[in-house]
Amino acid sequence: MAEATDSKYRVLYIPENVSAKTYQPLLQEPSVREVLQLIDNAQVVIHSIGDALVMAKRRSMSPEAIAKLTKQHAVSETFGTFFDASGKVIYKIPRIGLQIPDLDHIPYVFAVAGGRSKAKAITAYMKNAPSRTWLITDVGASNAILTGETR
């Protein structure tokens, strides 16, 4: 996207599941601090909403953590935060980078998710999304949400 818009981008390559001992020194790294400063000054965020268990597996979470998410009926994930169907936060991955509270000071927030299978995830996350969040989705997810098929 940066190339297509003649823009610049920065990448934050940090594993998500690092120990507390590793986490603090990483925050002092100049390249990490530079990207975190850019995040603090962001005016627009485009992010996705994922199915909790799909994202847990994609993030290579431990079988114990996945079992906990299953037991607590996790349905949604964004920014390493997992939600149940009522929108309650049930698990949060300690991570460096953009997090849900950071969205509070960003004027334009776009959440993207599509497909009927994402309806529960969308509904759960949107209960926590900043009020100025624009949801971009498709007819499959929209119809499921509007007809109440997310319950």
Domains parsed from the chain with CATH numbers: 20-146 (3.40.50.1360)
The pLDDT value given to residue 64: 94
φ and ψ of 59, to 5 deg: -85, 5
Specify the residue for token string 């964004």.
Answer: 78
The sheet carrying 108-112 orders its strands as 44-48, 108-112, 133-136
The pLDDT value given to residue 69: 97
pLDDT in tens, the chain (151 residues): 888 999 888 888 777 767 778 878 888 889 889 988 988 899 999 999 999 999 999 988 999 999 999 999 999 999 999 999 999 999 998 888 888 999 999 999 999 999 999 999 999 999 999 999 999 999 999 999 999 877 6
Whole-structure pTM value: 0.87
The sheet carrying 74-78 orders its strands as 50-51, 74-78, 81-84, 89-92
The pLDDT value given to residue 107: 95
Query: Which one-letter amino acid corresponds to residue 71?
Result: K
